[in-house]
Amino acid sequence: MTHVTRSRLSDGREILYFDEAPGRVPATDLRGLTPRATGADGSGEVRFDALSGEWVAVAAHRQSRTHLPPADECPICPSTPGRSTEIPADDYQVVAFENRFPSLGPVLGEIPGNPGWGTLAPASGRCEVVTFTPSHTGSFAELPWDRARTVVEAWSHRTAELSALPGIRQVFPFENRGADIGVTLHHPHGQIYAYPYVTPRAEAMARTAVAHWGETAHRESLLETVVRQERQDGSRMVLEGEHFSAYVPFAARWPLEVHLAPHRRVPDFAALTPEEKDELTGLYLDLLGRVDGVYGSPTPYIAAWHQAPLAPGYREAMGFHLQLTSPRRAADKLKYLAGSEAAMGAFINDVTPEAVAARLRAAVSPYPAPGRGVVVPHTAALHTITAPTQGLPA
């Protein structure tokens, strides 16, 4: 069972400790930070792009945020007698706290409902940091199963609470891993954005999901259909459990891209059963280890946990799943988003999804795995389509 302890930092931001045992007494933040502004003047802004119909957040105050500090200056390591950090504790397990340099928030509320050219509003919403471990080094894949399970519980807890805040339309937990992705802190951590609008990617997926939901008379969501078809085909499957499957999508955009999805329709972390969370933890750790094992060294990635938006109609039709992507296309090469991808959003992949799935099935995790449970890789040979054996292009 995960035990949650709430406290406040000296500027008023909320901090929550997630522990595997009870008894934590939160320490006082001794830094004496200036109380943050909680009204519209303390937030950035969102501006409406009339050409695309999308909102853009403008957060100029983030230019001054900490950037890749050395270990002795890390703001999310435990505090010591000689140095106070964002976490006023000499040790912790998993912590979530409001970002000191948020893209959204701290103001909460609705944004304009009928925007046009020139429409702007305070950037309402909330941004949180989730620290996975007190250790400054390592990665999520190196966490023991119990600690990773606590992170999953933290994601579930924060999803439920953030979804209930005024004006929130979508909650997005994610992890940026590696300097090549653009992280600003080496310490293993992730973030959660609670948006006041449905993001462009979610809107695009919602259009197809809602149409499919109607075509099936509300019997099967589009994600359920895709997962079922990937399992039946088999050539892109990587891992398969009782509740979840991991596969390289049929039309993968990135050199390394894997989806991890439940077998039933689930809107978000908060709707998962304890048994599903247990299996998700083991599969996710195994998958991350395989991603690093493809080249035998840490791979930069974005772990994007797609959750159904809170907008009416979307929540029923859309499903929860992980989209893990990496620009790494060879041991020493990255894919950059250039003209077609960056300007037109039209991706061109240099490797077949079947080849990537074969590499991931064969990959050996560089991390020890005791306590993570037994996870059996999917055997593509059991299916009618055989995965190609060629590797990723150089």
Query: Which is nearest to 190 in space by CA: 296, 269, 107?
Result: 269
Helices (H) and strands (E) in the chain, counts: 7, 16
**What angle do helix axes 200-215 and 222-233 make, rounded to 10 degrees?**
80
CA–CA distance from 141 to each of 282, 298, 323, 388 (Å)?
10, 10, 16, 27
- Please give the structure tokens belonging to residue 90: 């000499």
DSSP state of 204: H
Would residue 189 show up in a list of annotated catalytic residues for this protein?
yes
- What is the Cα–Cα distance from 313 to 298, expressed in whole angstroms? 40
Which residues are bridge partners to 261 per DSSP?
Answer: 245
Neighbours of 64 (CB within 10 A): 8
Pick the catalytic residue from 187, 189, 306, 378: 189
Neighbours of 22 (CB within 10 A): 9
User: Would you please indicate which residues are annotated as catalytic (active-site) residues?
Assistant: 189
